[in-house]
Amino acid sequence: MAGLSSRSGAQPLPLVIAPGILVLAAVTALVLAVPFLASEYWVNAIIVPFLILALAGLGLNLLTGFAGQLSLGSGAFMMVGAYATYALQLRVPGLPLPVALLLAGLLAGAAGLLFGLPARRIKGFYLIVSTLAAQFFFEWLFLKVPWFYNGNPSATIALPHGLSVFGLSAENPHGRYWLTLGTVALLTLLSANLVRGQTGRTWTAVRDMDAAAAVVGVQTRSAKLQAFFVSSFVLGIAGALWAFCYLGSASVQSFGLARSYQILFIIILGGLGTIRGAFLGAAFVSLLPLILDWLFQHLLSGHVDEGLRQNIQKAIFGLLIIGFLIKEPEGLARLLACLFAGPSGGRPRRRNLRDLNQETKP
């Protein structure tokens, strides 16, 4: 019962300390070494989708984790980005890819803005209706109007000549990796700056204390719309990458409701309201099936019925989500912070996040 809480609002708490320079250097070195160390399979099937999912998670985290607006429409905004990129590349000859991606992101942002309009009047989980409406409407639109998929009888989209930019082609795994990595790194940097600055503070103010924020002069309505726009912008670009850098071709099915849930799970597991959370969550979601596969093969040596095994995996995934929400609402981001800082050295739990979007009491 949400109204039961007697805690009265959250104190402003210290900002998350950025991971140390050492960690940063290690990550950079690893990231640059990936194409030389990992097999083509790891790059194509694990690392590229991981990066794109992390970007999508980041997009949703801006909206849900930072600004406190729940969305089940991530798939829809990714879809807009992918179909817009396709339309721009197909119909505007000679348009450079970065410009097409940027425009597609802006269009996705506009779609987010449109379906975020109800946030001006309602909040909490009622917003999922608006975002679900986006999900179902765009699935219908991109299937129904042949213009969006150039009349292809199967309603799928694929770029005519593949993606390429600055000599990096999405036709080969290394090009795909660098293209994805560059886009993801750039957007992550921009987002990190955004949330550390005035915009981010406004968003968290809206998330934690909507009414109070309004009283002290924060433009809550425009802050929410801003969050919807920026989040959908990032999601849109993630969608375009997903379609053309990872899958190669896409249909509305690639961005269905299941995708929206997956992105939501990524930020729940990774950590709401952190930049790292999206990456950790995406890593977790990408690796979990591999871990479970490996466990089943080695512990039970394949003596389990296939159907049962797949269902057990699904149940374990559900259990993990519940477990994380109960035990570690700040997700892997905090779990890892504690791990590195030793059992007693963890930073104080940021109380405000535990009560994400708590109903304001009368």
User: Restricting to residues 177-236, which ones interact with other proteins according to CB under 8 A?
Assistant: 210, 214, 220-221
Does residue 125 interact with other proteins by CB under 8 A?
yes
List the one residue from 31, 45, 106, 185 that touches other proteins (CB under 8 A): 45
Q: Given the complex with other proteins, which of 160 and 348 has the nearer CB atom? A: 160
Task: Using the rule CB under 8 A, give the single segment among 22-30, 55-63, 127-135, 181-189 that binds other proteins.
Answer: 127-135
Nearest to 84 by CA among 96, 100, 65, 71: 100
Answer for the pair 259, 74: CB distance below 8 angstroms, yes or no.
yes
Instruction: Spell out a b/e string for 239-274, using b for 16 or more CB atoms within 10 Å of the CB, else e.
Output: bbbbbbbbbeebbbebbbbebbebbbbbbbbbbbbb
Answer for the pair 55, 188: CB distance below 8 angstroms, yes or no.
yes
Task: Using the rule CB under 8 A, give the single segment among 12-20, 106-114, 125-133, 175-183 that binds other proteins.
Answer: 125-133
**Alpha carbon of 51 to those of 146, 182, 295: distances in Å?**
31, 10, 25
Site string for other proteins, 136-165 (x = CB under 8 A): xx-xx--xxx-------xxxx-x-xx----
Does residue 113 interact with other proteins by CB under 8 A?
no
Q: Given the complex with other proteins, which of 196 and 355 has the nearer CB atom? A: 355
Query: 169 φ, ψ to 5°?
Result: -110, 140
What CA–CA distance (Å, rounded) separates 63 from 355? 16
Query: 207 φ, ψ to 5°?
Result: -65, -45
First-residue to last-residue Cα distance in the chain: 15
Enumerate residues 252-271 that contact other proteins by CB under 8 A. Answer: 253-254, 257-258, 261, 264-265, 268
Task: Using the rule CB under 8 A, give the single segment among 103-111, 189-197, 232-240, 246-254 that binds other proteins.
Answer: 246-254
Enumerate residues 79-98 that contact other proteins by CB under 8 A. Answer: none
* Type of residue at 33: A
For residue 157, the cross-strand partners are 250
Does residue 44 interact with other proteins by CB under 8 A?
yes
Placement of tokens 């930020």 in the chain: 267
Q: Given the complex with other proteins, which of 120 and 347 has the nearer CB atom? A: 120
Task: Using the rule CB under 8 A, give the single segment among 21-29, 126-134, 176-184, 196-204 that binds other proteins.
Answer: 126-134
Q: Which residues, at least 6 apart from 165, have a Cβ–Cβ distance to it below 8 Å?
A: 96, 97, 98, 179
What CA–CA distance (Å, rounded) separates 344 from 346? 6
Q: Given the complex with other proteins, which of 17 and 326 has the nearer CB atom? A: 326
Q: Given the complex with other proteins, which of 197 and 289 has the nearer CB atom? A: 289
What minimum distance in Å lies between the beta carbon of 194 and other proteins?
A: 22
What minimum distance in Å lies between the beta carbon of 291 and other proteins?
A: 5
Nearest to 168 by CA among 147, 158, 157, 182: 182
Q: Given the complex with other proteins, which of 21 and 305 has the nearer CB atom? A: 305
What CA–CA distance (Å, rounded) separates 54 from 21? 21
Enumerate residues 9-38 that contact other proteins by CB under 8 A. Answer: none
Placement of tokens 């005035």 in the chain: 198
Q: Given the complex with other proteins, which of 120 and 190 has the nearer CB atom? A: 120
Site string for other proteins, 272-301 (x = CB under 8 A): ---------------x-xxx--xx--x---
What minimum distance in Å lies between the beta carbon of 86 and other proteins?
A: 12
Enumerate residues 297-356 that contact other proteins by CB under 8 A. Answer: 298, 305-308, 310-322, 325-326, 329, 335, 338-339, 354-356
Nearest to 205 by CA among 361, 63, 12, 349: 12
CA 48 from chain center: how many Å?
Answer: 14
What minimum distance in Å lies between the beta carbon of 360 and other proteins?
A: 7
